[in-house]
């Protein structure tokens, strides 16, 4: 044996993208929620919907199992957190879906952010870098 057995040579390990599967207890409700915020639904089939906003994306997964959503936190880094906060407020999702949105706060890790809890309990932190 020359020591090379079992070694796989990969010539191209460049990643293309990474997406999270975001669980939805009520799949139809969650699809409406994300569209109301402004995400575009590019596809929907087999209990998975592909959502994007420009070059960021995630997969919404029909997951009626209790508790799976509470274990997930998403972080969305944006250029203007104030514009996003205004967008969320103007969308009417707080009253329409009964979700929680926190105030914008300066964080010690040099970001301003706010929290948004989706209808399934997934927490989103929407943040902007600061100097």
All structural domains of the chain, each given as residue ranges with its CATH number in brackets, are 21-129 (3.10.180.10)
d(CA 33, CA 85): 15
* For residue 61, pLDDT beyond 70: yes
Residue 16 has a pLDDT of 87
Residue 128 confidence (pLDDT) above 70 = yes
Rounded Cα–Cα distance for residues 37 and 20 (Å): 18
At residue 95, φ and ψ (nearest 5 deg) are -80, -35
Helices (H) and strands (E) in the chain, counts: 3, 8
Record the pTM.
Answer: 0.85
pLDDT at 4: 59
Question: In this model, does residue 53 exceed pLDDT 80?
Answer: yes
Q: What is the mean pLDDT of residues 2-15?
A: 71
Structure tokens at 66: 């209790």
Write out pLDDT tens, residues 108-127: 999 999 999 999 999 999 99
SS3 (DSSP) at 98: coil
Q: Which long-range contacts (CB under 8 A, 24 or more apart) does 110-117 make?
A: 112/81, 113/81, 114/81, 114/84, 114/85, 114/88, 116/88
Indicate the average pLDDT of the chain. 92
Q: At 40, which helix (H) or strand (E)?
A: strand 40-45
The confidence score (pLDDT) of residue 85 equals 98
Q: Which residue has the higher pLDDT, 107 or 13?
A: 107
């Amino acid at each position: 044996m020359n020591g090379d057995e079992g070694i796989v040579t990969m010539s191209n390990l460049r990643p293309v993208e990474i997406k999270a599967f975001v669980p939805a207890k009520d799949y139809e409700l969650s699809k409406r929620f994300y569209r109301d915020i402004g995400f575009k639904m590019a596809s929907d089939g087999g209990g998975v919907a592909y959502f994007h906003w420009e070059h960021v994306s995630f997969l919404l997964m029909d997951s009626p199992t209790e508790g799976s959503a509470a274990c997930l936190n998403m972080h969305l880094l944006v250029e203007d957190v104030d514009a996003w906060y205004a967008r969320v407020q103007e969308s009417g999702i707080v009253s329409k879906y009964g979700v929680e949105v926190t105030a914008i706060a300066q964080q010690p890790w040099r970001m301003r952010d706010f929290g948004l809890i989706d209808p399934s309990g997934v927490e989103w932190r929407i943040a902007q870098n600061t100097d």
